[in-house]
Amino acid sequence: MDLWHPAGILVEKYGYRVVYDAQSSVEAKLSFVIHNGEWLWKPARSEALVEIQAGLSEISLGHVDQPIWTASRNGFFVSSDTWEALREKNELIDWWKLVWFPLAIPKQAFILWLAVKGRLDTGDRLLTRGYKGDVNCVFCRDQLESRDHLFFEGSFSYRIWRFCLSRCRIANSPIIWEEVLQMGCSEWGNKTFKVVPGRLALGSTVYNIWCNRNEIKHAGHPKTEEQLLKKILWEVRTRVIGKG
């Protein structure tokens, strides 16, 4: 059932009846109808066979038969070409520039990616799975924990976010999550070095707020607001200075 004929895989197109009409078998190889470099077919006994034999003129028998990796542009196996052929392709998004860039800290980029995709296990998502425990924000204690509340509508994360951006000399940043992404894509999405602090601040703030949230929720050792701010600014400064 190889793809060798211009019409495609013959059994899929014409059905197994065509094998009987050709006086052949499903185990037969293509060499069954080739002799001394020429086609050797029995007289056509159906319209399907007439179409098949008519398409033989488009096939050259002068080349050596060899396997070809059709997923690759050059006929040989290439992992990147094979991945492109197999993967599901969606519309290219803009926010990837905020998550994946040369100076990004991998663990922070991963958490930021989950946050953008809405895949962090915040209280509202836990509720949909039947969770019966406390799902209020661990910082303010009076609202349902959601991604948007955690980043950055809640009073605690709001102060962290605003202060970090002010130290990075970035003013007038929104606190609504979708607006933060839109602003980041439009203002921090290019490749110039001056936008790096903003992208680093976003990744570090999201990551550290999430880690601090987990420390509180699981009886760990959470950082104070001052400690959290120092850690975020230290991470941003270290990456920027290291590049400079």
pLDDT of 16 over the 70 cut: yes
pLDDT of 235 over the 90 cut: yes
Mean pLDDT of 187-198: 81
What is the model's pTM? 0.68
Q: In the chain, what percentage of residues exceed pLDDT 90?
A: 47
Mean pLDDT of 183-193: 81
The pLDDT, as a whole number, for residue 243 is 58
Choose between 195 and 57: higher pLDDT.
195
Mean pLDDT of 154-183: 89
> Helix, strand, or coil here: 144?
strand
3-state SS string for 26-39: CCCCHHHHEECCEE
| CB-based contacts of 124-130 (< 8 A; 24+ apart in sequence) | none
- pLDDT tens digit string along 67-78? 788 888 888 889
Mean pLDDT of 57-62: 75
- φ, ψ for residue 38, nearest 5 deg: -130, 155
Quote the mean pLDDT of the chain: 88
Residue 110: band (very low, low, confident or very high) from pLDDT cuts 50, 70, 90: very high
Q: Which pair of tokens denotes residue 164?
A: 């970090």
- pLDDT tens digit string along 124-155? 999 999 999 999 999 999 899 999 999 999 99
Choose between 84 and 1: higher pLDDT.
84
Least confident of 42-51, 61-70, 111-120, 189-198: 61-70
- φ, ψ for residue 237, nearest 5 deg: -65, -40
Mean pLDDT of 107-127: 96
The pLDDT, as a whole number, for residue 25 is 82
Choose between 222 and 12: higher pLDDT.
222
Helix (H) or strand (E) segment spanning residue 151: none
Q: What DSSP state is assigned to residue 122? A: -
Tell how far CA 69 is from the center of its chain.
25
**b/e per residue 200-227 (b: at least 16 CB within 10 A):** bbbbbbbbbbbbbbeeeeeeeebeeeee
The pLDDT, as a whole number, for residue 61 is 75
Relative orientation angle of helices 196-217 and 155-167, to the nearest 10 degrees = 150
The pLDDT, as a whole number, for residue 64 is 66
On whether the CB atoms of residues 22 and 28 are closer than 8 A, the answer is: no
Q: In one letter, which amino acid is 213?
A: R
Mean pLDDT of 180-209: 88
The pLDDT, as a whole number, for residue 35 is 78
Mean pLDDT of 226-232: 95
The pLDDT, as a whole number, for residue 88 is 87
Q: Which pair of tokens denotes residue 139?
A: 């910082």
Q: Which pair of tokens denotes residue 56?
A: 């033989």
